[in-house]
Amino acid sequence: MTGRPHAGFHRRVFRMEQVITRFPPSPTGALHIGGARTALFNWLFARSRGGKFILRIEDTDIERSTEESVKAIIDAMEWLELSWDEGPYFQTHRLAVYREYAEKLLGSGHAYWCECSGEELEKRRNAALAEGRKPKYDGTCRSKGLDRAPNRVLRFRTPQTGTTILKDIIKGPIEFENSELDDLVILKSDGVPTYNFAVVIDDLTMGITHVIRGDDHVNNTPRQILIYKALGAKLPQFGHVPMIHGEDRSPLSKRHGATSVMEYKRMGFIPEALLNCLVRLGWSHGDQEIFSRQELIEKFSLETVGKSPSIFTMEKLLWLNAHYIKENSPQELTRLLKPFLAERNYPEKPDHFLAAAIHTLQPRTHTLVEMADAMRFYMVDGIEFEPEAAAKFLTADMSGVFSGLISELSKLETFDEASLEPVFRNTAQDLKVKLGKIAQPVRVALTGGTKSPGLFEIMEVLGKEAVIERLQKGLKYIETV
């Protein structure tokens, strides 16, 4: 990620054919699932077209923007490895640029100063709503010819007739009557631009070629198009992706459980899985479910993004995560799992041991959290027996089996799956019992419970010394009951 923050590049000349996309979060909270997908689509589109991806922080809401949110968003983007080529730019660092363009609009008669107070506006809005009218600005100051003065805002003079057509890459053409629109504020009374103005100026000066964003912005687009036109500027292409909803079909919010990207990191998901899950919300490539990052870059296209909203659930994410856990190398997993291991205060173990243990857990865990929990018996020496498991399997009749096994295993020179299995098979055969009959008690002695990876895998990983020690401890337990 390259961060070269500077603000004065709006005079730069762009090669017209290069694709430039951007992700412009407002730093008023964590990066959530919906935002992450928007970022992903922009990133993917830029990467797939050999273009550029810009990160821009839309912090013009001074009240609600925070440093922590900026950091949280950047952390999440980095975790997802959605690398940006420029930025992060901050709108609050670019105030002079917006003013320059506001002047242009003012000079060409496309903007005017307005002295209507917030309270007054609020009153008129409510009145309009009560009468069943559209709560638009009524144009009180439109032709007053006011000058700049404290407490005045700058409004855009929206054409009152005609239609504006948005040719959306995803939704197709959408037509709006200009008469439905009103004179929006472009500069607040403190001189800070409003969203609709700042995006246009930023997208324009940063040479953004494709604006890919949530479809909650569809209704803003005609206003923005009108500003581009008033400036005599070329329009970028627009693509509005449908929103992601919670299980009750309402927009994703805190009450839908985990919505922030970093919560998924904490829950033990790996970025590839989250990305794979998110990309399939709205986009598809035939029947394919699993995509590597590279494949995504090769196959992604905006034309194949669907138009209808989707619901985010964790079911598929869990499956995808389990898939990536199975596919990843034990070494890579070791790296990913270490923080979760540390969280549990397990004793330190060498990497090769961790990798071997992880290998046995790969097919049976869905998340890193699950895996770290399941690692316990490998990590902790004095494991305790689950009461029910011990009661059922560590029974008096097993004492002979345990002592027999201990002496047989002690004789082994190599202690691996291949050499271990015959010992157990033979013992079972001699006793005329099924392997399971002796396997479960041993499993309880080794792991403390009744569910675990294959017995011989475990033993190989644990090593001869630890295995015999645990069997002896099991035997002692049996003899004391």
- 224-253: which residues touch RNA (CB under 7 A)? 242-243, 245, 249-251
Among 349, 435, 472, 473, binds RNA (CB under 7 A): 435
Does 180 help bind RNA (rule: CB under 7 A)?
Answer: yes
Does 463 help bind RNA (rule: CB under 7 A)?
Answer: no
- 181-220: which residues touch RNA (CB under 7 A)? 182, 184-185, 188-190, 192, 194-196, 215-220
Among 135, 139, 159, 404, binds RNA (CB under 7 A): 135
Own/partner pairs, 403-407, CB within 8 angstroms, 24+ separation? 403/475, 405/438, 405/442, 405/471, 406/468, 406/471, 406/472, 406/475
Closest CA to 59 of 98, 20, 33, 21: 98
Minimal distance, residue 319 CB to RNA, in Å = 4
- 47-106: which residues touch RNA (CB under 7 A)? 58, 60-61, 64
Does 151 help bind RNA (rule: CB under 7 A)?
Answer: yes
Minimal distance, residue 404 CB to RNA, in Å = 17
**Conformational region of residue 191, where left means phi above 0, alpha means psi within -120 to 50, and beta covers everything else:** left
Minimal distance, residue 361 CB to RNA, in Å = 9
Instruction: Please report which residue ranges of 92-192 form alpha helices under DSSP H.
Output: 95-107, 118-130
Q: Which CB sits closer to RNA, 153 or 383?
A: 153
Minimal distance, residue 277 CB to RNA, in Å = 8
What is the Cα–Cα distance from 481 to 126, expressed in whole angstroms? 79
Q: Which of 144, 167, 234, 254 is catalytic?
A: 254
- 267-326: which residues touch RNA (CB under 7 A)? 280-282, 284, 286-287, 289, 304, 306-311, 313, 315-316, 318-319, 322-323, 326
Q: Which CB sits closer to RNA, 96 or 311?
A: 311
Helix-strand-coil percent breakdown of the chain, rounded to 5? 50, 10, 35
The Cα-based distances of 417 to 226, 420, 460 in angstroms read 72, 5, 6
What is the Cα–Cα distance from 447 to 445, expressed in whole angstroms? 6
Contact present, 196 and 223 (Cβ < 8 Å): yes
Does 133 help bind RNA (rule: CB under 7 A)?
Answer: yes
- 401-420: which residues touch RNA (CB under 7 A)? none
**Number of neighbouring beta carbons within 10 Å of residue 344:** 13
What is the Cα–Cα distance from 139 to 69, expressed in whole angstroms? 37
Does 150 help bind RNA (rule: CB under 7 A)?
Answer: no
- Is 254 annotated as catalytic? yes
Active-site residue set: 254
